[in-house]
Amino acid sequence: MHTVGTVGIIGVGNMGAGMAANLLSQGWAVRVHDIDRAKVEAMRMLGAAACASAADVARDLSALIVCVVDADQTCDVLFGTDGAAETLAGGAAVMLCPTIAPGDTEQIAAQLAQQGIATIDAPMSGGPARARDGSMSLMVACAESVFEAHRTLIEALSRKVFRIGERVGDGARTKLVNNMLAAINLVGAAEAMALAQRLGLDLETTLDVIEQSSGQSWIGADRMRRAIEGDYAPRAHMTLLAKDTRLAIEAAVAAGFEGPLGASARDVFARAVDEGLTELDDAAIFKLLSS
């Protein structure tokens, strides 16, 4: 297969692995690094080049995807010991895919710019299966010239690219708005199903009704199908929406906005973390509310 181009991915967990597999299937040469060697080995078996450090992944690349969990990890893999920024080619671009605070995105972009490296603010949404088949959403904010220079890669990653604008940080802002609503929907779905259980209703039938009626939401249906089967194997760890709702409410406070539901959803996810559900899928909100 003809090689389309070479890209590096740092962080090949659920979403990063899906992105890597997608690119490999399209003929891209992919270099990967993760602190979990088993995840790197799984990607190597698919044809990716396994790298021992972030710096090794980034060496002389024109495009690097960062797909770690939070801002601290992002800064570490870019600017820490053996960080990627020290080996990236001049004029390269870093695509930031984690859900992080807009201010952190802006600060990282400013630090990269000092080294002549562009930033593509590109949070993602949709889950691992959609990352793998290219149907995940990408919310892209960057300079138009940077977008055009890396359009082939961006469009290889996703058939649902939303061009948010040129201001780096607006991708992060859009993702926080989306994830706050996702969290509200998920807590609402779990509450409704917990009520259905208490009322003695058949949960599968109830969910059948909801999926075809006014209470339907994608995340609610997706997570509650697994929850009523007792399947809490992590596809999206509970800690992710706990983090994202906290960041969303911090952004709301900074903007002088106060709504009735976001903080409540944040508090439910914080409670789930406090009660030891961190290693479970976020579908375990049902487990929390039905106990």
Long-range pairs for 229-237 at CB < 8 Å and ≥24 separation?
A: 231/281, 231/283, 232/280, 232/281, 232/283, 232/284, 232/287, 233/281, 234/279, 234/280, 234/281, 235/14, 235/127, 235/128, 235/281, 236/14, 236/127, 236/281, 236/282, 237/278, 237/279, 237/280, 237/281, 237/282
Which amino acid is located at 221 in the chain? A
Q: Using alpha carbons, select from 245, 250, 265, 236 the residue that is nearest to residue 104.
A: 250
Read off the tokens for 131.
């990352």
DSSP 8-state secondary structure symbol assigned to residue 237: B
Residue 39 a catalytic site member: no
CA distances from 143 to 92, 105, 169, 177 (A): 13, 14, 12, 22
Rg of the chain in Å (alpha carbons): 20
Catalytic residue among 39, 160, 175, 287: 175
By annotation, the residues acting in catalysis are 175
